[in-house]
Chains A and B, each alone.
Chain A
Amino acid sequence: MLARCSLPCLALVSSLSVVAAPKPVTFYQDIAPLVYRECAPCHRPGESGPFPLLNYEDVKRHAAQIADVTKRRFMPPWLPEHGYGEFAEERRLSEEQIERIQEWVRQGSIAGSTARAPKPPAFSSEWQLGKPDLVLQIPHPYELGGEGPEVFWNFILTVPLKTSQWVKAIEVRPGNPRVFHHANVIIDRSHTARRLERIRGEGFPGMDVALEEETFDPDSHFLSWKPGSRPVVEPDGMAWRADPGMDLVLNVHLKRSGKTEIVNPAIGIYFTDKPRTKFAMLVQLERDSSIDVPPGEKDFVVTDDFRAPMDLTVLAVYPHAHYLARLMEGYATLPDGSRKWLVRIPDWDLNWQGVYRFKEPIALPRGSVVSMRYHYDNSTDNVRNPSNPPKEVRAGNLATDEMGHFWLQVLPVGEGDRRAVLEESLMLQRLEKYPADFSANYNIGDLLLSKGDAAGAIPYFERAWKTEPSSVVAATELGVALFGASRLPEAEQQLKRALGVDQKYTDARYDLASVQASSGNWEAAASQFRQVLTERPDDAKSWQHLVDVLSLWGEELVKAGDFERAAARFREAVVYRPKDAGLRMSLGAALARMGRMGEARTEFEAAVRIDPGFQAARRALAAMESQTGK
Chain B
Amino acid sequence: MCTTYVITRISNVLIMDRRHFLKQSTLASSLFFVPNFVKAFENISAKNLGYKRLVIIQLAGGNDGLNTIIPFNNDVYYRNRPTIGINKNEIIKVTDELGFHSNLLPLKKLYDQGHLTIINNVGYPNPNRSHFRSTDIWQTASSSDQYLQTGWIGRYLDEYGNKPYNAIEIDDSLSLALKGQNINGIATKNPQVLFRTSQDPYFKNVLEHYQDEHLSEHNLGYLYKTMIAAESSAKYIFEKHKTASNNQEYPNNEFANQLKTTARLINSGIETKVFYSSLGGFDTHANQINSQARLLKMYAEGVEAFVNDLKQQGTFNDTLILTFSEFGRRVKQNAANGTDHGAASNLFIIGNQLKTPGFYNELANLNDLDANGDLKYTVDFRSVYATVLDKWLAVKDQTILNKSFTKLNFI
Query: Do these two chains interact?
Result: no
